[in-house]
Each structure stands twice: as C-alpha cells, then as structure tokens.
Amino acid sequence: MIKKGMRRQIVLHYILVVFLALLLVEVIFLIVIRTYYYDSIYTRITTQLNQAEYFYRVTSRDSPISLQELLRSFELKDTELQVLTLKGDMITSSTGFQPDRTITTSDVPEAVGGGIGRWVGRQPGTNENVMAVSKVLQIHGRDSYVLRYVTSVEGVNADLFNVTLISVSVGIAVLAVVAAFSFGLANSIIKPLNNITAVSAQMAKGKFNARIKGDYLYEIGELASTLNYLAEEIVRSNQIKDDFISSISHELRTPLTSIKGWSETLISGGYDPEETKLGMSIISKESDRLIGLVEEILDFSKLHQNEMKLSIGIVGVKELLQEIILNLWAKAEKKSIRLVLEAEEGIYVRGDANRLKQVFLNLTDNAVKFSHEGSVIMLSARRADEEKAEIVVQDSGIGISQDHLNRVKDRFFQVDSLNGGTGLGLAISQQLVELHGGTMEIESELGKGTRVTVYLQLAEPSPEVETMGQESLPMPEENHDREEGNT
C-alpha cells in the first residue's frame, strides 16, 4: 500500500479516472454487441415471418391449408416454429411435441395487437434462455393464427460472456499500465519535492551553503533554482551585514578612540588654552560624526519600517543645491574639487526640504568622496517636462563597475568597505526620493565617473511656501566664484 501523500493521491486519481472511463466504454461496448447479436436473430426471424405473410396474401387456394404444410414451408434451422390460436393456445409445433398449453409471454398479445411481438427470457420447463418472435398470420383472408418462432440464445450468451471476459481482461491490463505510469509520474514529482524539502529543512537550520542538486524540469526546476537563488541571496545579505557590522564598528571606534584620547588628555590638565581648544574641537567634530552615523542608521530603520514622516512644502531647487554646495564646499576644497552649479531659475518641487537636502548631500558627498583631486563635480537642475524636475549630480571620479552598479542601491553595500561610510546612503536616498513620488537613476562607468539623476514632481510656488535657502545664503567668496557663471 502506498503511504499517504501526493504520490498516493496522484496514483489513485489516475486509476479512478481511467477506471470510470473504461467502465463506461466497456458497458457501452457490451450493450452494443448484445444488441447487435439479438437484433440479427430477430431480423432473421422477422424476414421469415414477413415472407410467410406475403406468401399467404398473394397466393390463392380454395382448399384449406394444412398446418403441417405451413410448418414445413416456413420452419427455420435451430428454431422451433409454433402455431397458436389468437388466445395463445398452442395448436402445433415444428418439434412435433404439442403439449396442451397456453403461451402467456408478452410477445403473443403484442402480435395480436397488430405488430411483431418479441420476448427474451427463460423458457418455462427447460429453463433455457430463448427469444420468441410472434406475428399474426391470416391464411388466404380466412383463418388467423399466431405464428411464433422460439430460438435459443444460449450460444449467443456464451459468445457474449467470452467477449465480456476479453474486454474485462483488456480493461485490467490498461489499468495496470496506467497504475505503473501514474506511479512513475508521481515519483518524478515527489522525489524532487522530497529532495527540495530536505534541502530547505537544512537551510531552515541555517545551513545556507546547502544547494538543491539535480536537473529538474518545468515548475519543479524553477522552484529548485528559486530556492538556490534564495539561499545565495541570504548568504550574500549575511555577508553584507557582517561587512556592515565590521565597518560600522570601525566607523564607531575611530571617533570614539579620538574622543576618549582627547578627553583623557584634557582631564590630565596642564595644557594651554590653544591646545585645549584644539582638543575640544576634535571631540566636538568626532561627536558630530558619531551622531551623523547613528542618525543614518535610525533613518534607515525608520524607512524600513515605513515610519518616516515627511513635512511637505515647496522647495526651491536652485536654493537647495546652493545650500548643498555651501555645506560641502570645505570638504571639496581639501581635494581641490570644484563644485559647479548649473540650475534653471524658478524650479520648485513638492517635498520635505530637510529630507531632500539629505538626499543631495549624500549624493554630492559620495561624488566628492569618490572624485580625484582637482576634478569638477556638476550639480544641475532643469525642467525635464511639464511635470518633472531633473536634478543631476555628476562627477568624473573613480566610477562604478557594471557588476557593482546593480547593487549600490542595496542597503549596506559598499564597493570597498575601507572607504568609510555605512553603505546606507544610496539606499536611504532612493527610498526618500520614492517617498516623494520621484525616481533616482544611477549611471556610471568604471574609471570615468558617475551620474545620479533624480526626478521630482514640479510644484508652483505660493506666497507662503517654504523655499529652502530663499533668504540670502552666507556663501563663501570662493563658492560664489564657482557658481554658474564660472562654468
């Protein structure tokens, strides 16, 4: 017995369906065969009856006809011919045996009623299966008799039994083949599924290097490769998380070491005000770095849990980019990088000014971080169409390989973890842009540079709008020089 499960279901369903179909076909086949056999006997007899009727209608004779003559003329081989009165009393029979009996089977009244009576059943006395066919015969328009042929159907029934046996054997053979086939089919599904279940159980226990081996077809093949892909992704994201933890620990340790070192030095005392000021400013700078790091992680977790709330207003894009340049000017200056702004006037977008600033700070900070000394970073803004503003941050720095380009927006991904950072910047920027109903695209070529394009919904400014940086910004002299006019 097959144990419970899909295999048994498949085998049982197949067998049941084929069994029912075979049963139907065989029953119909046997009914047709039986009808054919019986009808051919019936046709043989009715032809004879019709001939007798025709004969006594067309031939004329004066003297009464002897019934023995009738029996002789119209008897059929292996068939008893009886002559009955219209009431069914037997007058004579071709067997010569004429018991004083009355025939009460249904064929006689049918014949008297004007048709051809037919009856199949067991012959009283002999208990033999017979067919009786009767018809009323009027001899030369005078006397009417019932002419009744009785023939045994035992031989036909024996033939039918043999045919039934053969067709049942064929049916059983077909069922056996179907059972074997369905068992094979069920195995071809169940075995891979069992294998996949076993491997997934290993994965569930944390063994993510387990893989489903075997070349499975169709949906099962897809399932196997999806699970293998899932395991690879888990391994990859675990690796990314491990890298993140090690890089974040490194990122946290560096400022903490510096803070601790300077605070201990200052506690030990005896330093002049200049040195104390230097120490305090380093502690303050490193604390800011730590706060920035922690905020990035918090933002990410808020975005991840859909808890980020935007305070939407109308933001002037040119002013926003000016503020970004202002913020990163000092950092760019250290690498002699020029930050160039090329923005159309009067572009306004709907959004949260602080969050949009965070996005472009991150993109420009990346551009500065990954640009060569003395290069140029271009920040530009224009109306892409009637509805969208296109804001581009373009550098000519180290660029990103095509392989890595697909993954830079993944959280925690960094091409080189020694660069500092968390690998969260682009993931956060992307999600913030999407929260604003915009899109962010990154194009890059290794060694040539990177271009990040952000599309945001345009907005009409209104008098009470919050337009970032609309009050005049305290731009450093150098930065003014590097504005539009300088490009």
Q: Applying CB under 6 A, which residues contact ligand ADP?
A: 362, 366-367, 370, 395, 397-400, 408, 413-415, 419, 421-427, 450
List Cα–Cα distances, 477 to 322, 326, 483, in angstroms: 13, 11, 10
Nearer residue to ligand ADP within complex by CB, 434 or 481: 434
Distance of closest approach, residue 381 Cβ to ligand ADP, in angstroms = 18
Q: What is the DSSP string of 178-227?
A: HHHHHHHHHHHHHHHHHHHHHHHHHHHTT-TT----S---HHHHHHHHHH
Distance of closest approach, residue 231 Cβ to ligand ADP, in angstroms = 25
Query: How do 348-351 and 388-394 pair as beta strands?
Result: unpaired
Nearer residue to ligand ADP within complex by CB, 366 or 431: 366
Nearer residue to ligand ADP within complex by CB, 411 or 436: 411
Contact between residue 439 and residue 454 where contact means Cβ atoms under 8 Å apart: yes
Distance of closest approach, residue 309 Cβ to ligand ADP, in angstroms = 23
Place of tokens 């940086």: 469
Nearest to 183 by CA among 12, 54, 392, 40: 12
List Cα–Cα distances, 351 to 193, 218, 361, 385, 456, in angstroms: 50, 47, 15, 18, 9
Contact between residue 111 and residue 144 where contact means Cβ atoms under 8 Å apart: no
Nearer residue to ligand ADP within complex by CB, 70 or 367: 367
Nearer residue to ligand ADP within complex by CB, 107 or 395: 395
List the strands of the sheet with 79-84, edge to edge.
90-93, 79-84, 143-152, 129-139, 117-122
Count of C-beta atoms within a 10 Å radius of residue 457: 14
Distance of closest approach, residue 360 Cβ to ligand ADP, in angstroms = 12
Residues 6+ apart with CB under 8 A from 390: 381, 382, 383, 384, 453, 454, 455
Looking at residue 123, what DSSP letter applies? P
Nearer residue to ligand ADP within complex by CB, 327 or 457: 327
Distance of closest approach, residue 274 Cβ to ligand ADP, in angstroms = 34
List Cα–Cα distances, 452 to 41, 299, 365, in angstroms: 95, 21, 12
Nearer residue to ligand ADP within complex by CB, 130 or 377: 377
Distance of closest approach, residue 300 Cβ to ligand ADP, in angstroms = 10
In sequence order, the β-bridge partners of residue 452 are 393, 442
Distance of closest approach, residue 393 Cβ to ligand ADP, in angstroms = 8
Question: How far is residue 437's CA from residue 315's CA, in Å, rounded to a whole number?
Answer: 15
Number of residues that make up the chain: 487
Distance of closest approach, residue 196 Cβ to ligand ADP, in angstroms = 35
Question: How far is residue 306's CA from residue 301's CA, in Å, rounded to a whole number?
Answer: 9
List the strands of the sheet with 338-343, edge to edge.
338-343, 376-383, 388-394, 449-457, 439-445
Distance of closest approach, residue 307 Cβ to ligand ADP, in angstroms = 20
Distance of closest approach, residue 368 Cβ to ligand ADP, in angstroms = 9
Contact between residue 121 and residue 105 where contact means Cβ atoms under 8 Å apart: yes
Nearer residue to ligand ADP within complex by CB, 150 or 393: 393
Nearer residue to ligand ADP within complex by CB, 70 or 426: 426
Q: Which amino acid is at 375?
A: S
Nearer residue to ligand ADP within complex by CB, 108 or 240: 240
Nearer residue to ligand ADP within complex by CB, 402 or 472: 402
Nearer residue to ligand ADP within complex by CB, 371 or 467: 371
Distance of closest approach, residue 480 Cβ to ligand ADP, in angstroms = 25
Conformation bin of residue 385: beta by default, left when phi > 0, alpha when psi is -120 to 50: beta
The token pair at 156 is 């036909």
Distance of closest approach, residue 376 Cβ to ligand ADP, in angstroms = 13
